[in-house]
Amino acid sequence: MHTLQLAVDDFVDNSENYTQAVDLLDNGEVVAFPTETVYGLGAVATDEQAVKKIFAAKGRPSDNPLIVHIGTAEEVSLYTANISEVAKKCMEAFWPGPLTLVMHAKPNILAPSVTAGLQTVGIRMPDHPVALKLLQTLKKPLAAPSANRSGKPSPTKASHVFEDLQGIIPCILDGGRTGIGVESTVLDVTLSEPVILRPGGVTKEMLEEVIGPVLEPSFEQQKIESTPKAPGMKYTHYAPDAPVYLIDADEGIIEAAIANLKSGHKVALLAPECFKEMKADYYFSLGEAHDAEQMSAALYDALRACDKTAATIILATATSKTGVGTAIMNRLEKAAGGNWYQP
């Protein structure tokens, strides 16, 4: 299969590219498109055959449900029942934006694979001009996980999608780099107390200002839970080829680690700019120190870049678990399988 890459920036007349993408989707195909978080791989969410193509293209386990993207907030009532006051407040405050709400699904409307057999569905309205234009032209909901091969870091550029899915999907809408760089916050609002199933761009603090107390299980708590509430949590995620280890963002500790590893390893270091002089074999910047927005925007590109090197071990600096730092550490802990570098 040939994979079309269609530019959809604002400087050229791109209406034909949207028409082409909409035609493909209407005909049961999958299309990759940018959102404000990461690139998504979309299919019409009511079309079971089309949705199955997403799972096939990604190599995604079939028990991992997909997020449904909508172009207008009103559409939410077409797919969900018993919308709570908490859910309404969240939509009002954070849509369009990087917040997925897990709600009660109306039966027999969405393709069964979208919800992976659950009675709930995760829905969001993305805040990206290309995603919104695509959805509003299509006038149908799009089921869309991240547009990467399952297990790999999510794509933040069209070229990342191309690397993973060329020849497997028919079309990529190229809208440049995505802004936030980590996936949406997933908030379950079906329970008496809302629970963050996955941290993201909308932080616990931001949510609590609008809806009061919110639960956020830690990485360790999620690991020991036998039936994960977000089925995706049990799978390996965001992993480059070489093993990743978390390390403190401390010059002495990093220097000693590199010196120690150098004899048997090619070492890649993912760290803020202030560590770029460290003597690693490969260095990838995570932006200015203490700037969580720069770090989240750079993270997946840096993890993916490691696969283009001969690195045999990857050290990634930890950051504080506040604000967007919570989402960054969640992805890094998964990329590292919870492992910290031990001398």
**42 in contact with ligand AMP (CB under 6 A):** no
Answer for which of 71, 145, 287, 323 binds ligand AMP (CB under 6 A) is 145
Q: Does 146 bind Mg ion (CB under 5 A)?
A: yes
CB atoms within 10 A of CB 205: 11
253 belongs to the binding site for ligand AMP (CB under 6 A): no
Closer to ligand AMP at the Cβ: 52 or 265?
A: 52
Question: How would you class 104 by CB atoms within 10 Å of its CB: exposed for 0-12, middle for 13-18, buried for 19 or more?
Answer: middle
Task: Determine the size of the site formed for ligand AMP (CB under 6 A).
Answer: 21
Choice from 24, 45, 50, 186 touching ligand AMP (CB under 6 A): 186
- Cα separation, 22 vs 236, whole angstroms: 32
Structure token digits, residue 1: 């299969």
Rounded least distance, CB 41 to ligand AMP, Å: 9
Member of 67, 135, 211, 292 binding ligand AMP (CB under 6 A): 67
> Are 146 and 183 contacting, i.e. CB atoms less than 8 angstroms apart?
yes
The distance of closest approach from Cβ of residue 279 to ligand AMP in the complex, given in angstroms and rounded to an integer, is 36
Q: Please work out, in degrees rounded to the nearest 5, the angle formed at the alpha carbon of residue 38 by the alpha carbons of 157 and 112.
A: 125
C-alpha angle with apex 36: 33 to 38, nearest 5 degrees? 60
For Mg ion, the closer of residues 66 and 258 by Cβ is 66
List b or e across 12-27, with b for residues whose CB sees 16 or more CB atoms inside 10 angstroms. Answer: eebeebbebbbebbee
* 7-15, 162-170, 228-236, 289-297 -> range binding ligand AMP (CB under 6 A): 228-236
The whole-angstrom separation of Cα 158 and Cα 291 is 24
CB of 148 to Mg ion, least distance (A): 7
222 binds Mg ion (CB under 5 A): no
Nearer to ligand AMP, 29 or 183 (CB): 183
Per CB under 6 A, 152 contacts ligand AMP: no
How many C-alpha atoms does 66 have within 13 Å on its Cβ side? 34
